[in-house]
Amino acid sequence: MASIPSSPIVVIEAPETPRALATVLAEAAASGNAVAPVGGGTKLQFGNPLSRQTVQLSTAKLNRVLAFEPDDLTLSVETGATMASVWNLLGERGLTIPIDVSAPEIETIGGLIATGLCGPRRFGSGSLRDALIGIQAAYPDGTLGSAGGMVVKNVSGFDLMRMHLGALGTLGVVVSANFKVVPAARAEATVIIERETIDQLEGDRLAIHGGRIRPIAYEALRVDDRWMESIRIEGRPATVDQLARELGDRLGSAKTLSMDESRQFWSDYVRLEALPTDQDILTLQIRGRPSEISTTVATALSTFDDASDIRVSLGLGTVRLVVPSGAERAQEHAAAIAALRTSGRNVLLLTAPNAVHASIEAFGTPESNLELMRQLKKQFDPWSALNPGRVIPEL
């Protein structure tokens, strides 16, 4: 794996229109330069290190609302807009896009699409993928292309739209996006209970899975030697109150947070999931099936016994770890990740020191898939002008 170039990053003045941005991309490609699109800049460590020097291209001035149809539950917005600005607009009409964002005042629509990362409420509300119904993207040949539309049931261009989601801006720069929006929940509550073992959490998971309660988020956080289990419920006020009581009675010794307390709890919880900027921190997500969560947690804890932050998405089957790392432990950690992948575990590096990246790829993509991805990259960006090496290691 290549290391991040050490020379200073050049920043291009933010284009004010999609056409201007496409022109900048074409000029960069024609001159042999590489470009790194930047939104809020909160996840620049996610993915593989860039394989060669780039210039940063900001989308900050592409922040206009293009169309908002509350009655049709649709919104079109340029991708430099922050999530907070979008939520504020939708909130005036009692609407929302129900996703988790660690720093909504900073993170942009484009950055959220590029990374494709999801928070706890993916369990009950889905991800940005479920809300996205159309995009427009700029490409290194200077063109603008569209996929999807402004109609919720429109599936035209579906595959093209989905290819950009999570591609980290390596295929094109998404300059605007269309969403289906939903009414904001009228009420919510969170039920919290402490457990001593992961087996107890598994018992709770089975009980919830077999019942009528469908949480929006279902998480467990390791606190010292215990687990804090948190279950978020949304809906009508009377329904939420009834379900929270039922859940508390079923689990025993549970604490229930009211609507305002619940919202603050999850805002804080998600904020602490922001990717670290410390170069010596390793952040991992180990994915498995919900039915195998006990085994996944046990494997994660035995492999990284010094993890400082351990979060388990009980409904999704994933474990998220923050591990102190650095050059002196890079080979040890790279070998541990490789062993987990060899055993069939899906391990995603959210952040990692350069020394870890030098030995192991961030996504663990099988070689057979890499070849297909390289062909796709060549079709969209034959100059490798966009974020070179960030998703697909260059040969």
SS (HEC) of 116-133: CCCCCCHHHHCCHHHHEE
What integer pLDDT is reported at residue 159 of this predicted model? 72
Instruction: Please indicate, yes or no, if residue 88 is contained in any of the structural domains.
Output: yes
Q: What H or E segment, with its residue span, contains residue 165? A: none
Q: Give the list of residues 6+ apart from residue 318 with CB closer than 8 angstroms, or none.
A: 285, 286, 287, 288, 296, 312
CA angle 284, 270, 310 (to 5 degrees): 40
Question: Which stretches in the chain have pLDDT values below 50?
Answer: 1-8
pTM recorded for the entire structure: 0.93
Tokens of 118: 């999801």
Measured between alpha carbons, how far is residue 112 from residues 6, 261, 325 in Å? 27, 26, 27
SS3 330: helix
Among the candidates 133, 167, 183, a domain finishes at 183
Model confidence pLDDT, tens digit, residues 193-223 = 999 999 999 999 998 888 888 999 999 999 9
Q: What DSSP letter does each residue of 44-105 carry, written as one string?
A: TTSSSPPSS--EEEE-TT---EEEEETTTTEEEEETTSBHHHHHHHHHTTTEE-----S-TT
Residue 277 CB partners (closer than 8 Å, separation 6+): 45
In a domain, 146, yes or no: yes
Residue 380 lies in a domain: no
**Which residues form the domain of 219?**
187-271
Cα separation, 39 vs 168, in Å, equals: 11
Structural element, H or E, at residue 251: helix 237-251
Helix axes 198-209, 237-251, angle to 10 degrees: 140
Give me the CATH number covering residue 300. 3.30.70
Residue 13 lies in a domain: no
Task: Please report where in the chains the tokens 């206009």 appear, as a residue.
Answer: 64
Instruction: Give the per-residue pLDDT at 6.
Output: 39
281, 214 Cβ separation under 8 angstroms: no
- Boundary-marking domain end, from 225, 249, 271: 271
Q: Is residue 202 part of a domain?
A: yes
347 in the same domain as 291:
yes
Domain boundary residue, one of 183, 205, 237: 183
What integer pLDDT is reported at residue 7 of this predicted model?
41
pLDDT at 145: 94
In degrees and rounded to multiples of 5, residue 332 shows phi and psi of -60, -45
Same domain flag for 298 and 256: no
Same domain, 346 and 303: yes
Q: Is residue 3 part of a domain?
A: no
Regarding whether 206 and 147 lie in a shared domain, the answer is no
* pLDDT tens profile 325-381: 988 899 999 999 999 999 999 999 999 999 999 999 999 988 778 888 999 999 999
- Residue 344's contacts (CB-CB under 8 Å, 6 or more residues apart) are none
Alpha carbon distance 60, 107 (integer Å): 11
Element holding 232 (H helix, E strand): strand 226-235
Establish if 35 belongs to a structural domain.
Answer: no
Shared domain for 157 and 248, answered yes or no, is no
Domain count, the chain: 3
The CATH number linked to 140 is 3.30.465.10
Looking up residue 196, the CATH number of its domain turns out to be 3.30.70.2750
